[in-house]
């Protein structure tokens, strides 16, 4: 092995350990945050018994889940039953690997280490666990793998509630996967690349994509919610109908794995929204963050964290605001609204880019601003139409039932 | 006319999803900064806004006289009126002809906390109490004998006063 490969491996191992440790601890803290937010939004203090301000609550939950009894239904399909939590947990955790967490940092070392030998690294180090050239496709591929865990958990539990939950999860995730994937095509059209560093670089040069690709963002956000299986799209769990859906029969740490998977999914969706539409680690209105020093890496990580944290908060905020969708509404929204919207938007964006080129508008910045202007109009139009209920109809409009007056009956 | 049924006039057209969502989000956000209304129970048992009602009917208490004997004369009215049949009373009589309970037991599990025993008692001996923390480690601890009933110190219920129906 050359010293360069050794240096690269050392850095990679350090990044893996740091990122996944931070992610898993962060996920534990997110459960606390969720419960705290739920409390505050309902004028309660939230958990506050374990440790100061309840800060140790996740640890208590973790210990409880470790020492709880593992139960398994007699009729369950053993192997799959054990594998399913891991199958929903691992893809969710792996997604974070390709997201650039900070600006690339210049690393220079040339060490002679015991056991390892001569290790060296010179140049920019990408601040993601794996700076894959096709990072974007990796995300799309792996985020849909999570559905296997959920569907198989529902199937192998051999319980009707679990099965229904698993079925719903598959149907929902497949439906929204389509809209999600299509909503991201305009990002690729505008960037011309599938690597995250390119996408961020493009946003730094022009505008954050929230401007030029607003409708993409809108569709992506909604389908992202659906992908995480959370309210208002938590039909796979739907506790009032299905007990706890696909994880009804799970207990102890297996159940915990589903939870960790769900929260990792939230983190990833938030990170993706931040990366794809809010410039990733970019600090706006300055080029200082691209110089590659340690200070810049820290500052850009903070910028990324703030953006991501806002979207995590947003996910929780929505959860404690909106009630659950009805199943047909969910499917209507996915197939009849988001899918045509995403498809149409691809056409519009492609046409606009082509048109701008033909009209002689060049330069990343000019194109971005022109598209942002177009999106302002389109977004307003979309919201106008949605707001008037012309796209999704209430059940009262669909079927003109005879008016049944219940007043004074009996 | 039976129960008044409220008929909701749902909007037929111009149904808003975006505005409704934003409104809801504004509401939940606003609530995050409002004062918490939770009473931290084991530390705070009552607050300005909330305190246990004086009419509360909880676990029983036997009143005692100045010498520490129970006021009960074992007349048998309370087991007679008890709808849950949870009072066990064996009367006794001393040389002076004073009646007293040999055994007086209340099964708090069977009790429905109606308060009839207190209402019917001519000596104002047995009372239901303003008390609600009754955790025990075993079920038989919930059969209160005379000694235990007399040892209770919590305030007694004022019950419902027909002259003052709202308790003011």
**A327 vs A107: CA distance, rounded Å:** 52
Contact call for residues B13 and A397 (beta carbons, < 8 A): yes
Find, in chain B, the residue whose alpha carbon is nearest to that of A218: B18
Tens of each residue's pLDDT in chain A, 410 residues: 777 787 788 888 888 898 888 888 888 888 888 988 888 888 888 888 887 888 888 888 889 888 988 888 888 777 888 888 888 888 888 888 888 887 777 777 777 777 777 777 777 777 778 878 887 788 888 877 878 888 888 888 888 888 888 888 888 888 888 888 888 888 888 888 888 888 888 888 777 888 788 888 888 988 888 888 777 887 777 777 777 778 888 888 888 888 888 888 888 889 888 888 888 787 777 777 677 677 788 888 888 889 899 999 998 898 888 888 777 778 878 888 888 888 988 998 888 888 888 887 777 777 777 778 888 888 888 777 776 655 555 444 444 445 555 554 44
Instruction: Say how far apart CA A406 and CA A231 lie, in whole Å.
Output: 33
Burial class for A114, CB neighbours closer than 10 Å (0-12, 13-18, 19+): exposed
A132, A104, A129, A108: which is closest to A119 by C-alpha? A108
Q: Residues 33-52, chain B: which have Cβ within 8 Å of A?
A: 33-38, 40
- Phi and psi at A355, nearest 5°, equal -65, -40
Is A395 within 8 Å of chain B by CB? no
Nearest to A322 by CA among A218, A384, A233: A233
Any bridge partners for residue A123, and if so which? A107
Q: Please, are residues A325 and A236 in contact by the beta-carbon 8 Å criterion?
A: no
Q: Is B18 on the interface with A (CB under 8 A)?
A: yes
Confidence of residue B83 (pLDDT cuts 50, 70, 90): very high
The model carries a pTM of 0.79
Any bridge partners for residue A125, and if so which? Answer: A105
Query: Encoding tokens for residue A376?
Result: 């302002």
pLDDT at residue A409, as a whole number = 44
Backbone phi, psi, residue B64, to 5°:
-120, 160
Spatial neighbors of A122 by CB under 8 A, at least 6 apart, are: A4, A107, A108, A110
In this prediction, residue A406 carries a pLDDT of: 52
Partners of residue A320 in chain B, C-beta under 8 Å: 28
- CA gap A323, B61 in Å, rounded: 48
Query: A269 exposed, middle or buried (CB, 10 Å; 0-12, 13-18, 19+)?
Result: buried
Q: What angle do CA A351, A274, A122 make, to 5 degrees?
A: 105
pLDDT at position A410, please? Answer: 43
CA distances from A21 to A25, A96, A97, A275, A394 (A): 6, 12, 12, 21, 46
- Any A CB within 8 A of B8 CB: no
Token pair 């055994």 is found at B103
Q: Which of A142, A166, A165, A141 is nearest to A152 (CA)?
A: A166
- Give how far A170 is from chain B: nearest CA, Å: 26
Sorted by sequence, the CB contacts under 8 Å of residue A69 that are 6+ apart come out as A251, A252
On whether any CB of chain B is under 8 Å from the CB of A287, the answer is: no
Question: Which pLDDT does position A402 carry in this prediction?
Answer: 52
B27 touches chain A (CB under 8 A): yes
- Chain B residue numbers with beta carbons less than 8 Å from the beta carbon of A40 are 31-33, 36
Nearest chain B residue to A41 by CA distance is B32
Identify any residues that bridge with A117 across adjacent strands, giving them in sequence order. Answer: A113
**What does the pLDDT read at residue A167?**
86
């Amino acid at each position: 092995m050359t010293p360069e490969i050794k240096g690269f491996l050392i850095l990679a191992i350090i990044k893996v350990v740091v990122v996944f440790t931070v992610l898993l601890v962060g996920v534990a803290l997110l459960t606390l945050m969720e419960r705290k937010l739920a409390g505050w939004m309902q004028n309660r203090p939230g958990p506050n018994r374990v440790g100061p301000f309840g800060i140790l609550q996740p640890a208590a939950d973790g210990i409880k889940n470790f020492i709880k009894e593992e139960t398994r239904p007699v009729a369950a399909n053993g192997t799959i039953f054990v594998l399913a939590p891991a199958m929903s947990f691992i893809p969710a955790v792996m997604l974070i690997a390709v997201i650039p967490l900070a600006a690339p940092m210049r690393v220079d070392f040339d060490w002679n280490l015991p056991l390892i030998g001569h290790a060296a690294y010179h140049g920019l180090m990408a601040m993601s666990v794996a700076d894959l050239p096709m990072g974007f496709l990796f995300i799309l591929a792996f985020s849909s793998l999570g559905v296997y865990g959920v569907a198989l958990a529902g199937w192998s539990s051999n319980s009707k509630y679990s099965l229904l939950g698993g079925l719903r999860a598959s149907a929902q995730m497949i439906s929204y996967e389509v809209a999600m994937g299509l909503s991201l095509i305009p990002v690729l059209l505008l960037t011309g690349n599938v690597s995250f560093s390119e996408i961020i670089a493009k946003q730094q040069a022009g505008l954050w994509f929230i401007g030029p690709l607003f409708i993409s963002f809108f569709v992506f956000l909604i389908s992202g919610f659906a992908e995480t299986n959370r309210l208002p799209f938590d039909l796979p769990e739907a506790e009032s109908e299905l007990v706890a859906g696909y994880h009804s029969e799970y207990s102890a740490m297996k159940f915990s794995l589903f939870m960790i998977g769900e929260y990792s999914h939230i983190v990833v969706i938030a990170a993706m929204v931040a990366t794809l539409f809010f410039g990733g680690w970019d600090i706006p209105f300055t080029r200082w963050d691209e110089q590659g020093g340690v200070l810049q890496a820290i500052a850009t990580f903070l910028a990324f964290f703030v953006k991501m944290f806002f979207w995590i908060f947003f996910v929780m905020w929505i959860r404690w605001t909106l009630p659950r969708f009805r199943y047909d509404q969910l499917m209507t929204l996915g197939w009849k609204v988001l899918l045509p919207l995403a498809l149409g938007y691809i056409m519009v964006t492609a046409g606009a880019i082509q048109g701008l080129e033909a009209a002689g508008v060049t330069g990343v910045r000019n194109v971005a601003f022109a598209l942002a202007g177009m999106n302002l109009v389109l977004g307003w139009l979309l919201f106008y139409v949605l707001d008037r209920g012309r796209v999704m109809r209430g059940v009262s409009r669909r079927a003109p039932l005879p008016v049944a007056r219940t007043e004074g009956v009996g | 006319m039976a129960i008044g049924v409220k008929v909701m006039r749902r909007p037929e057209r111009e149904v808003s999803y975006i505005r409704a969502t934003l409104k809801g989000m504004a509401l939940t956000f606003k609530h995050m900064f409002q004062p918490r209304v939770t009473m931290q129970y084991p530390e705070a048992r009552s607050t300005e806004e909330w305190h246990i009602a004086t009419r509360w009917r909880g676990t029983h208490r036997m009143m005692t006289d100045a010498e520490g004997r129970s006021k009960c004369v074992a007349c048998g009215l309370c087991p007679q009126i008890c709808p849950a049949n949870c009072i066990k009373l064996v009367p006794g009589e001393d040389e002076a002809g004073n009646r007293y309970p040999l055994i007086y037991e209340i099964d708090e599990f069977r009790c429905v906390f109606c308060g009839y025993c207190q209402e019917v008692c001519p000596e104002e001996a047995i009372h239901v109490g303003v008390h609600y923390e009754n955790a025990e480690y075993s079920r038989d601890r919930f059969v209160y004998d005379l000694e235990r009933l007399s040892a209770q110190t919590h305030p007694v219920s004022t019950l419902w006063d027909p002259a003052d129906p709202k308790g003011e």
